[in-house]
Amino acid sequence: MAAKNHNIDNIPVLITPHPVSDLTPEQLREMAAAAFPVIIEQLTGQGALATETRIDYVHPAMRDNKHCIDPNLSGPDK
């Protein structure tokens, strides 16, 4: 509601896996590297601005959990 009141409710959102507080510095760098191209596209207007964009990064806690449903996983082999 606050964003709408300030006329910024149509700003593109970059969605990252959560939580980020338990990531190591190296894992956080990996996530930032995955987000970087999307951020550059959004800032420079090179790409279409989607309302929501999920970065291509799977949280380390989800990588070994084959039974967990995670929208960032592309298949059962990950």
What pLDDT sits at residue 69?
Answer: 52
- Output b/e per residue, 45-67; b: 16+ Cβ within 10 A: eeeeeeeebebebbbeeeeeeee
What's the average pLDDT block by block, 10 residues per block, for the chain (78 residues)?
78 86 93 92 78 86 64 47
Q: Which long-range contacts (CB under 8 A, 24 or more apart) does 20-26 make?
A: 22/61, 23/59, 23/60
Q: pLDDT value at position 76? A: 46
| Prediction pTM value | 0.64
Ordered by start, the domain boundaries in the chain are 2-63
Other Cβ atoms within 10 Å of 17 Cβ, number = 19
